[in-house]
DNA sequence: AACCTAAGTTACTAAAAAGTAGCATTTGTA
DNA sequence: TACAAATGCTACTTTTTAGTAACTTAGGTT
């Protein structure tokens, strides 16, 4: 069997924008469904639910259900998820630099 | 206007797997269409062409056409593209660690 | 008795993304 | 004569993804 590309491997686990943004939020601490729904601008319940389940399945997130009514569910990082912090951090740095130094200082619109 | 999220900003420019993998290759040096077609496993001509044009439009890549027959086109990094190196690098590191330490040592399949 | 809450699920539909095949270019070679 | 080379583009179809609306649960509040 041939060796797999590490970059492609990473992309197989965080393969869409929503997962990155969910990760961005949960890296700051455990979060509830409702919080993420508001924080991840534009995501629908369905997409949020779906991505959270996939990330749990892939071992990136932990899901803790509090047996209460109304429901209370908390999502937190697993060690594997925590190990993705440098990836998100590098994106954050790049985005900050872009917003400060590139966007708006060029004529082409973003 | 409200401040934008730097992580979301980054994701708006490299919003799919193909762009990441194209970037991975061109970070090693300028590449031709045909090379990328073989290297980015699974990509179609259409997708490759489309993503290359988007990346050029967004200022990440430079496109240089050599007026020859058969056509010769070379894609290289702009300074903005070059500045994404740490992002790809962090993904590469994470992927390597995952392949070595996680995948295969757990029962759930990948 | 009816409504509210949080966290979803389900079914249905609409939209976006991607696959496929065929075509074009133009010079050189078999 | 006809084919090959490299780099796409176009039109058409299929597949995948995502949006929307309705529904559920069960205890607490008006």
Q: The domain A15-102 is classified under which CATH number: 1.20.1440.80, 1.10.10.10, 3.40.50.2300, 3.40.50.300?
A: 1.10.10.10
Averaged pLDDT for residues B35-46: 95
Q: Which nucleotide is nearest to B33 (CA to C1')?
A: D7
Question: In the predicted model, what is the mean pLDDT of residues B84-100?
Answer: 97
CA of A60 to C1' of D1 (A): 62
Bridge partner residues of B87 (DSSP): none
Inter-chain residue contact A106 with B59, CB threshold 8 Å: yes
User: What pLDDT does B103 receive?
Assistant: 75
Closest nucleotide to A36's CA, by C1' atom? C7
DSSP assigned state of A4 = P
Taking the domains of chain B in order of start, what are their residue ranges?
32-95
Q: Which pTM was predicted? A: 0.91
pLDDT for position B106 = 64
In whole numbers, what is the pLDDT of chain A averaged over residues?
A: 92
Of residues B6 and A3, the one with the higher pLDDT is B6
Class of the CATH domain delimited by B32-95: mainly alpha
Whether CB of A73 is under 7 Å from strand D: the answer is no
Half-sphere exposure in the Cβ direction for B93 (13 Å, CA): 12
Closest CA to A57 of A27, A34, A85, A80: A80
Taking only the tens place, the pLDDT of each residue in A8-42 is 999 999 989 999 999 999 999 999 999 999 999 99
Q: Nearest protein residue to C7's C1' (by CA)?
A: A71
At residue B107, the pLDDT reads: 47
């Amino acid at each position: 069997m041939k060796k797999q590309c590490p970059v492609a491997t990473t992309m197989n686990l965080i393969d869409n924008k929503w997962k990155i943004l969910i990760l961005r939020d949960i890296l700051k601490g455990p979060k509830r469904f409702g919080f993420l729904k508001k924080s991840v601008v534009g995501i629908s319940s369905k997409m949020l639910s779906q991505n959270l389940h996939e990330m749990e399945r892939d071992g990136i997130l932990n899901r803790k259900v509090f047996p209460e009514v109304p429901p209370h569910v908390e999502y937190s990082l697993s060690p594997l998820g925590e190990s993705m912090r440098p990836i998100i951090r590098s994106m954050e740095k790049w985005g900050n630099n872009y917003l400060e130094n590139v966007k708006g200082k060029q004529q082409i619109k973003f």
